[in-house]
Amino acid sequence: MIEINFDPKLGAWAEGEHADKIRNNYFGESRDGKLWLLPEEVMYMIDLQNGVVRRENKTMTFADILAEYARKDPRLMIKYNAYRDWRDRGLIIKRSDKNAKIQKSTRSVKRYPIREMKLPKLDALVHWDPTSALGVLEDEDTGRLLFEDWWLGQCGVYKQDRGEMLKLNFFETVLLSKHFGLKVQDAVSGKRVSADKIMKDVARKREFAKTMYQAYEDWRMKGYIVKTGFKFGTHFRIYFPGASPVKKSNDGKWIHSKHVLHISPKEEKLLVSEWARAVRVAHSVKKTFILGIPKLTKKDLVDYPADFVAFRRKKKGGSWVRETPKDGPRYLLSAVSEEEHIGGVELASLLHNAENLNLSLVLSITDRETAITYYALNKINLRGAKYDYYEIEWMKP
């Protein structure tokens, strides 16, 4: 049994042999001859370590402690679930300190190759249908060039060798008109329309159209093939430079994308459960989930809570041993529940804090049964990109 004292003005602490039992396991902070404990540490002691909390002559329950601290911290139970799960794995987790500086970087940065898109100037006309936001190119030679060499548009029927007419979506039409001289004519009015005019018209009908296009342009102009991600619950699917609809894989089968891209506009907030579901769908079909966030200014950033710094294990003498505060943490961990909303600004703010600390960001998601799922966000180095991009991976501590 571990005895803990509680005073509503001073907090919670352990003394003597009771403090010694838990100090070596990196609980609490030693000060003035006592081991002072944070709310989640006290809750963990009661919940799973046979702890007894005394307030004068009264024994306090888990609910009593929650009531004392939750007044100031309404999200305490969500944070406790993350803390408990990490601790139950035999790992150390401590409160984050936004002023701390981690000397050794543990962040993972993925470097993506670039092959700049160099398409010859196009002498062709597309008929643009403003209602469907699709363009039609009837010049078969230009259509085949765009489709087979650059995988722009859809020539004929998808995955079938039927038809010669090229259909271009909104993103492709704007890109080719803006950068490669494609002429566009409104199929209804018969008037020529510019890339800016198309963008404005689509943006009036479709939320975040400009934001989506900017990300599309980021990847396309760096040589990547960017197609719809509708089947996977995301905005785009990504093929690395060189992919083509007429090339087959070594086994003669259709080449499948390995990445999907989802954009998180700063104005949009998404339910955490929906966001996590999209990541899970991508992983279930063996695709890397990439999150795109518009670059934000310091004025855009918000003080969104990063709750803990978390440690993992390291190899020592042929065995795996847990890391301690002497090693420095690996992750900045933010605890959320499946019922919360999170948006581009919140994610960008968390990522900004993690980068300042040279740590990788981990989201700890508590579901309705208090089970925890972890996702690590690793930055992508896509040189010259207008957005910040991150690979999101399910992780097991």
pLDDT digits (tens, 9 = 90+) for 218-254: 999 999 999 999 988 899 999 988 888 876 655 444 4
Q: Are residues 183 and 200 in the same domain?
A: yes
103 and 248 inside one domain: yes
- Full DSSP string of 341-386: EEEHHHHHHHHHHHHHTT-EEEEEEE-TTS-EEEEEEEEEE-TT-S
Reading the block at residue 45, the tokens are 């002691």
Average pLDDT on 45-66 reads 95
Question: 296 is in which domain, residue-wise?
Answer: 75-115+222-397
Strand partners, 248: 254
Adjacent-strand bridge partners of 53: 4, 60
Could you tell me if 289 and 391 are in contact, meaning their C-beta atoms sit under 8 angstroms apart? Answer: yes
Q: Write the CATH number for 56.
A: 3.40.1170.20
Cα separation, 162 vs 181, in Å, equals 28
Q: What is the CATH number of the domain that holds 322?
A: 3.40.1350.10
Kindly state whether residues 83 and 62 are assigned to the same domain.
Answer: no
The residue ranking higher by pLDDT, 48 or 274, is: 48
Residue 345, phi then psi, degrees to nearest 5: -65, -45
Report CA-CA distances (Å) from 45 to 49, 86, 114, 159, 364. Answer: 5, 14, 52, 59, 21
How much is the pTM?
Answer: 0.86
Q: List all residues 6 or more positions away from 121 whose beta carbon is below 8 Å from its beta carbon.
A: 180, 181
Residue owning tokens 């087959």: 248
Pick from 247, 245, 258, 249: nearest CA to 154:
245
Q: Give the pLDDT score at 35.
A: 96
Q: Both 134 and 271 in a single domain?
A: no
How much of the chain, in percent, has pLDDT values that exceed 70?
Answer: 93
Mean model confidence pLDDT for the chain: 89
Q: Report strand pairing: 225-228 vs 166-169.
A: unpaired
Both structure tokens of 68: 């004392």
Cα distance between residue 206 and residue 279, in whole Å: 24
